[in-house]
Structure formats: C-alpha cells, structure tokens
A and B are shown apart, each in its own frame.
Chain A
Amino acid sequence: MQFFLNGLPIGAIYALVALSYSLIYAASGVLNWSQGDMVMLGAYVGFTVFSILKLGFTSALLLAMVAVAFLGVLVQYTILRPLRERKAPPINVVIATLGVAIICRNLALGIWGPDPQILPSPVSSRPFSLAGVSVTPQDILVLSVGITLMLILHFFLKNTREGKALRAVAQDRYAAQLMGIDPERSDAVAFAASAGIGAAAGILVAPIFFVTFNMGASVGLKGFVAAVIGGLGTIPGAIAGGFFLGVVESLAGGLISSGYRDAITFALLIVVLWLKPSGLFLRKNRQKV
C-alpha cells in the first residue's frame, strides 16, 4: 500500500509529461523527442527564478511555463513546419527533434554548468501520517498542481476556441483546414501547451531529483512510455498511463529490485506493445490514420 501511494506523485509527473507527448502527437502526428528537454529547461528556468531572482514558487512556475511554451512555438515554426512543407519522412522528423534535444541539453550545460542544482520545494518534505500511511506535503503539492493542470488542459480543449480548433485538427487535419482552421497555428498551440506542461513537470520533479542538464532524457523517456502504455494521442490515456507507470515503478522498485526497476518497466512496455499496441486503457482498437 505504501509503495502504491509512493508511486502517485511521480505518476502525476509522468502523466504530465505523457500529456505533452500525446498532445503534440494527436495534433500534428509528430513524435517530439525534445519533450524531455522542455522538462529540463522548465526546471532550470524555475531554479533561476526561484533560487537566484528569489521570486516566489508560483511566479517561478508561471514564468517557466511561459518561457518554455515560447520555445515550443519557436520549434514548431522554425523546424517542424519546414519539414512538413517538404513532406519529410517521419524518421527525419524524429532526427530533427533529437537535434533540438541535443541543442537544448548542451545550451543548458553551457548556461548553468555541469553541477547539479537544487531547486528547493516551497513546502516541507517531512512525512506525516495520514490514515496509517506516510505522505509528505511535497507529494500533496505535486499531486494538486498536477491535477489542476490536467483540469485546466481539459477545460482549454473542451471550451475554448483554440482548444476546439486543436481537437478538430487532431481529428481530421484536411477537413479542419477546409473549415478555415489554420493547422500550423493549431500545431503551435499544441507545442506551446505541451512545452508549458513539460516545464511545469520539470519544476515539480526538481525537488525530487537534482536539476541537471541531462535530466530530461530519463523523465522524457518515462513520459513517452506512459503515453504509449495509456494509448498515444489520447488525453485520458496519457493520464492513466502516467499514474499506472508511477505505481508500477514504485512496486517493482520496492518489491522486486531497485536495480532492475527500469528494466522491468521497459519489459512491461514491450509486452503491452506486443499484446495491445493501442495501449492498455483504450477500449477501441482504432487505427489512427
């Protein structure tokens, strides 16, 4: 039970990262390998605002989200749009986003140096007992911010004009274009939202791990795994996949072996892909064309 609960906060972070993959994938069919590095940049911007400029946690969170969202838009317009216009094969898009990841990682290394930085949590991480299990205020903060962001995203997609346009493009790019929606603009919205969510995940994960220039690789990969386990390109799938992965990791690490924890996760992933390629939590086995 304790291991189960321990998995929830990290699960919320994986869910956020998974959302950021799924959002872009649903909107533009792009597999964005630089998503993990948006998480890393979010953590660094948050660290700069919080620990160096000494502004509060909320402003650190918001500034990081805005700054990284801006970068996401930049990537969409300068790199992905030309690729789409040239009808580049999907593998070229993968390499291009990997190139973005390499650039982000090494710029961060140049700016903030190789030493791990500490982004302290605004709340205590001393555990207290709640109904027989121990939780920390930090866990509660991660969960509440994470769930709030998911609700905001849900509201944005269902109730705003931009959100509806994005969903229309995700459903049928060509038809949406005929209806007067600019798909490139929708992609930019998806990239901005994804990068912003990733940055928030970076700030939430920073007090748990250190902030390092290569932290994005592992968090990014886990978020991608969560998105695929849940069903890539779907919002509920990403959330379910994130929490599922967090709990499975915690159980595997606590009950089986911490060294083999990630290996177990990946083995599980391959089995899921083999048996149910559309994800664990999708009823419909619909082929997204």
Chain B
Amino acid sequence: MKSIMSSRRGLAAFLLLLTGYLFTPYFVTNLYHLHILNLAGIYTLVVLGLNILSGYTGQVSMGQAGFFAIGTYVSALLMMNWSIPFWSASAMATVMAGLFGAVIGIPAMKLSGPYLVLATVGFGEIVRLVLLNWTPVTKGAAGLVGIPLPTVLGFVVTTEEHFFYLILASLLAGVFIALRIADSKIGRTYRAVREDELAAEAMGVNINRYKISAFIISAMFAGFAGSLFGSFSGVTSPDNFTFDESVGFLCMSVIGGNRSIVGAVIGAFGLTAVSEALRVFQGFRLVIYGGILIFTVIFMPQGIIGLFKRIRGNFSVKETN
C-alpha cells in the first residue's frame, strides 16, 4: 500500500481524485444523493476497520454492527444526558467500542472459521437486543431522537454539505491511520499471523495479543463511525444495527477487496452506489444485488481491487499480501 502513496503516479491520481471529490457538493445538488455519499463515507470507516481485522489477520467478523451501535449510542447518550461536546463524546464512544472489541476478542482468539463467525454474530445480536430491551436508558425500540449536532472549531455542522466535509475529513484521517497501521510492524505481523499462525508463533510473535489488538482496532473504527452516524442522522434505533447491517459491512469489505486499505473505500462506495442504482428495478433490486454478490465472489476472488491488480499486472502497485 505504501507504494501507492509513494509512487508519483499513485499520489498524483490520488490528489486529482481528492480535488475532484472536494467539489462534489457543487455538482451533486440533489440532497438525497449527497446524503447517500455521506453514508457511504461513514460505512467506509467501518469497513476500514473490518479490512484490518479480516484482510490482514484473517479473522472474520459478522458483528461489526454491534460496535457501530455502541459508538452511536454511547456518544449520543453522553451528548444528550450530560451535554458533553461531540468530540469528547465521540472519543469516549470510540474507546468504549474498543473495550468491547477486547471483550469479544478474548474468546475470539481461540476460535476460527465458522465458530468465530458465529461468536461475532452472537455479539452483534446481544448488543442489538440489549439496546432494544434496556428501555430506561436506550428508549427501546423507539430509539433516540434529537441527537445533538457536532461542532468544529465553534462552527456547528448542520447541512448535508457541512457533513460532507466533516465526513470526508474523518474518512481521510481514517484511511491515513489504516495505511499507517497496515504498513507498520503491526500490519506485517498481522499478515504473518494470517498466512501461518504456527510459523508466526515460532518466530516469537505473541499471536493472542495481536489477534485481540486487531479486534480492538476494528471496533474503534466502527465505534467512531457510529458516533458520526448518530449525529449525522439525528435519530437512531436498534433497527439500524441488525445482522443484515453487519452482513452489508462484510460484503463491502470482501467485494472491495479485504486485503487492501483502498479496497475498503472502493467496496463501501461501490456497493452503496450499486445498491442505489438498482432502485430502478424496484422489487427485484435485492434479487439482482444478491446475484451481483455471488458473481463477484466467484469471478473476482480478491474483490475489485484484486481485479485492478490483475489488469495492471505487476506495475507500480507492489503486492500487499
């Protein structure tokens, strides 16, 4: 991944894309479309964490909606009940999600394959059911209404356009952090764990510590995204955090290419766009969506980013796996 940033062509393409994207609110004047772009940006943050977890360490989570929910509810409740400002609330929500990541990471380090999948599904469902039933605090199925807006340097973020820039900035920060993690010693160790746990352990890697840390990182990404999501939507309820939501995140991760950080961005934006574009098919929208998922995993086993790499051969992009 480093090579994308360091190669001059990669950097130029990235800056060009970013500059173009900066002006999006000027030509995407349809507020609904802008709203979808903003949502895709928030989802990308979740998928970035998921890629570090599943793409780099090879642990699969089908419970990311649980961490996402914790981020949303913790930050929203802190802001609503104790008038804590957005950024502090968001930081606390991120840390709280990370703590839960450690809690689920401890049983998860012993598990793999279907067992790990099921443990994470169970976690996500427990979070949703607690939100649904802990009525005095979470308001149950009715959910939270009137989640306060974020403030940036004394400036209140209100409109879709404001949120566009806030989310874009968060997204860039998220990508930057994820790239730094992926390129660091930690990222390399993750890949070693994924490729051969026994060999990594024989080289003196404390596998359990790295596995749990990957869960914590992915949970923190989801938690921060959740805190943004709460303030962005203004309302939230347990229905926003179902198993289907977790499945959606996983699909974005795999379809984009879970072994790459850029893959998270492509997957989240690509799948959100496809899902919106398919609305013209009305009732058959999700049937076609399911077909696209199947087609992609059969014919692009490494996701869209894998396809790019295959087309470009061994060009400037160094193999990241």
What residues on A are CB-neighbors of B114 within 8 Å? Answer: 25, 31, 228, 232
Give the interface size class of chain A. 35 or more
CA distance A267 to B104 in the complex (A): 11
Are A225 and B118 in contact, with the CB atoms below 8 A?
yes
Are A99 and B122 in contact, with the CB atoms below 8 A?
no
For window 6-36 of A, CB contacts with B under 8 Å fall at 25, 31
From A102-110, A129-137, A234-242, give the one contacting chain B.
A102-110
Instruction: Report the count of interface residues on B (CB-CB < 8 A).
Output: 44
From B9-17, B35-43, B124-132, give the one contacting chain A.
B124-132
Are A95 and B125 in contact, with the CB atoms below 8 A?
no
For window 85-107 of A, CB contacts with B under 8 Å fall at 86, 88-96, 98-103, 105-107
**Given A83-B297, A91-B54, A98-B251; A273-B129 close (CB under 8 Å):** no
Are B115 and A228 in contact, with the CB atoms below 8 A?
yes
CA distance A107 to B291 in the complex (A): 12
From A143-151, A189-197, A255-263, give the one contacting chain B.
A255-263
Complex: chain B residue closest to A106, CB-CB:
B286
CB < 8 Å: which of B290, B291, B298 contacts A88? Answer: B298
CA distance A257 to B283 in the complex (A): 38
CB < 8 Å: which of A101, A109, A225, A277 contacts B122? Answer: A225
What residues on A are CB-neighbors of B244 within 8 Å? Answer: 217
Complex: chain A residue closest to B294, CB-CB:
A99
CA distance A105 to B291 in the complex (A): 13
Judge if A254 is at the interface, Cβ distance under 8 Å. Answer: no
**Given A260-B133, A273-B118, A274-B110; A91-B290 close (CB under 8 Å):** no
- Residues of B at under 8 Å CB distance from A? 54, 60, 104, 106-107, 110-111, 113-115, 117-119, 121-123, 125-126, 129-130, 132-133, 243-244, 247, 250-251, 254-255, 258, 283-287, 289-294, 297-298, 301
Rounded to whole Å, the gap between the CB of B43 and the closest CB of chain A is 16
What residues on A are CB-neighbors of B117 within 8 Å? Answer: 31, 94
CA distance A283 to B251 in the complex (A): 36
CA distance A192 to B285 in the complex (A): 28
Are A107 and B287 in contact, with the CB atoms below 8 A?
yes
Are B243 and A221 in contact, with the CB atoms below 8 A?
yes
CB < 8 Å: which of B119, B133, B292, B301 contacts A269? Answer: B119
Total A-B pairs, Cβ < 8 A: 132
What residues on A are CB-neighbors of B129 within 8 Å? Answer: 259-260, 262-263, 266
**Given A83-B297, A232-B115, A277-B111; A267-B126 close (CB under 8 Å):** yes
CB < 8 Å: which of B106, B107, B113 contacts A90? Answer: B113
Rounded to whole Å, the gap between the CB of B296 and the closest CB of chain A is 8
Are A266 and B126 in contact, with the CB atoms below 8 A?
yes
Rounded to whole Å, the gap between the CB of B106 and the closest CB of chain A is 8
CA distance A89 to B113 in the complex (A): 11
Judge if A50 is at the interface, Cβ distance under 8 Å. Answer: no
Q: Beyond A107-B287, A270-B104, list 16 extra A-B contacts (CB 8 Å).
A: A88-B298, A91-B60, A92-B301, A95-B294, A98-B251, A98-B290, A99-B294, A102-B293, A103-B287, A267-B126, A270-B122, A273-B111, A273-B119, A274-B106, A274-B119, A277-B110
What residues on B are CB-neighbors of A25 within 8 Å? Answer: 114
Q: Closest 9 CB pairs between A and B?
A: A102-B290, A99-B293, A266-B122, A274-B107, A103-B290, A92-B297, A263-B129, A99-B294, A259-B133
Complex: chain A residue closest to B104, CB-CB:
A270
What residues on A are CB-neighbors of B254 within 8 Å? Answer: 91-92, 95
Judge if A224 is at the interface, Cβ distance under 8 Å. Answer: yes
Rounded to whole Å, the gap between the CB of B37 and the closest CB of chain A is 24
Complex: chain B residue closest to A279, CB-CB:
B115
What residues on A are CB-neighbors of B291 within 8 Å? Answer: 99, 103
CA distance A273 to B243 in the complex (A): 19
Could you list 25 examples of A-B contacts with CB < 8 Å? Answer: A31-B117, A82-B298, A86-B301, A88-B301, A92-B301, A95-B294, A98-B290, A99-B292, A99-B293, A99-B294, A100-B294, A102-B286, A103-B286, A103-B287, A103-B291, A110-B284, A221-B121, A232-B115, A266-B123, A266-B129, A270-B126, A273-B107, A273-B115, A274-B110, A274-B119
